[in-house]
Structure 1
């Protein structure tokens, strides 16, 4: 009986050790998720897109590009001193967030192939420096939509 107890204790210790060694936080991988995505209904052949990328992992990553069938080109922009400029990437810090929001960093959909209407969904693919691409379904909201700051 005593040998069985020692064996069980050894298995539990080994199991706990494997769990700790296998976590993404300790291995240094980025663990990305996307929420709060939306596109205000466009009024021209250009549109903006907003979302939040959360990184629960232990490594930084970078949003490098975005693609979508709806646009000829999707570019990544940041806003500095109320001036918008295209950038080659935006950082997603380890254990942090990249927030794309109205008045700040955002996506620009250029050369729209059709004008999406409120209630439709636009599919986008986010391409990162380290992580696999992430496909996001982005609902089209009213032109004046502003998300609840509590979400």
Structure 2
């Protein structure tokens, strides 16, 4: 009887440890917030958002797509100069902030012009995490957030 109880206790302990993944499982845990797109005034648009990683592993934003644009590219801004990049890092327990005047998304060859009040569906793809679909609200062309960026 003691043997069975000891074995059952060992199995229960092993199962409890196996279920303790959570934030300590060595993976990224991504969420997206503060997303917006100023209403475009040409055949291109910019997109801004914050990707937060609550996980223990870093990840990278590698590509973006949207049915509103022929192409969505990721841009980095360094010393006021913007350039397309293949990916942007999302640190473990940190954030990647895409903001006006900084790193951002560029929606090129718009298929339709999103209007204020509408939402634009965007799929974000990462080096390690599953894709995330975000509904980005279209704001006035002059919109500047007061918080979140």
TM-score if structure 1 supplies the norm length?
0.86
**What's the offset of the Cα at 1:148?**
1.7
CA distance in 1, matches of 2:107, 2:118: 15
**What's the offset of the Cα at 1:55?**
0.4
Count of residues paired in the alignment? 142
Q: Map 1:1-150 to 2 at 5 A.
A: 14=13, 17-20=17-20, 22-23=21-22, 25-149=23-147
Provide, for residues 101-140 of structure 1, a one-character-per-residue CA deviation record: whole Å limited to 9, x for no partner.
0000000000000111100000000010000100000000
**What's the offset of the Cα at 1:41?**
0.2
Is 2:122–2:135's contact at 8 Å kept on the other side of the alignment?
Answer: yes
Is 2:120–2:137's contact at 8 Å kept on the other side of the alignment?
Answer: yes
Is 2:28–2:58's contact at 8 Å kept on the other side of the alignment?
Answer: yes
Provide, for residues 32-54 of structure 1, a one-character-per-residue CA deviation record: whole Å limited to 9, x for no partner.
00001110000000000000000
CA distance in 1, matches of 2:148, 2:54: 20
Is 2:34–2:148's contact at 8 Å kept on the other side of the alignment?
Answer: no
**What's the offset of the Cα at 1:18?**
4.4
CA distance in 2, matches of 1:102, 1:52: 12
CA distance in 1, matches of 2:50, 2:27: 19
CA distance in 2, matches of 1:140, 1:26: 36
Give the gaps of 5 or more residues in structure 1: none
TM-score if structure 2 supplies the norm length?
0.88
